[in-house]
A and B are shown apart, each in its own frame.
Chain A
């Protein structure tokens, strides 16, 4: 069965500093990996996805994520954090032959001015 872990409940970073939100996964087959962001009382917004190919995936709002097969990780990164990046971030995985997504528990990012 597939699973996703986001080891940090909360990440705090100063505005202008680089940020990383961690995600590790477990699947039987090849993974499709996703990042979503959720602002308060809003639905999830799609940020980026990894299907195959280049391990570094670029997405919306300056975010990128690096797929690392040997470490089964897909960490979300941004070179310079903005206060407006403060939100709840979800990692999700789907196996290449599967139907449904499995979401991680979420990581709350706070960017401090």
Chain B
């Protein structure tokens, strides 16, 4: 069966510091991968999605970036964090070619920028 991992689970970082959040998926190949941000325990904002290694689409321009160095690894990064980057970051995967490709979510990373 497929599983999705995110780490760290929680992170407290000062403003201006760099960020790296990692997401990995097990038990499937060539998944579609997604990064979402959830602010204040409410709606989800799609940040990035990827349909393959090195293929990243950005939905919202900001100081965050994403990379997919391996098939089942998706990384969210920032060079300098802002206060507004605080939130709950969720990674998700889906199986391309399935109709529709249901998204399955990881446990999330809670980021607090001070």
Partner-B contacts on A (CB < 8 A):
32, 34, 36, 41-46, 49, 51, 88, 90, 92, 94, 96, 99-101, 103-106
Contact = CB atoms under 8 A, between A and B. Distances in A.
B89 to A, nearest CB: 10
Given A44-B90, A100-B49, A106 B42 contact: yes
Given A43-B90, A92-B103, A96-B100, 13 more contacts: A41-B110, A42-B108, A44-B90, A46-B102, A46-B103, A46-B104, A46-B105, A49-B102, A51-B99, A90-B44, A94-B100, A101-B46, A101-B103
10 closest residue pairs by CB, A with B = A43-B105, A32-B100, A44-B105, A105-B43, A103-B44, A43-B107, A43-B108, A106-B42, A43-B106, A94-B100
B41 interface: yes
20 contacts: A36-B105, A41-B88, A41-B108, A43-B108, A45-B105, A46-B104, A51-B99, A51-B100, A88-B41, A92-B103, A94-B100, A96-B100, A100-B49, A100-B59, A101-B103, A103-B43, A103-B44, A104-B43, A105-B43, A106-B41
Interface string B1-35: 00000100000000000000000000000000010
Contacts of A36: 105
Interface string B80-114: 00000000101010000001101111111010000
Contacts, number: 49
Given A43-B105, A88-B41, A105-B43, A49 B110 contact: no
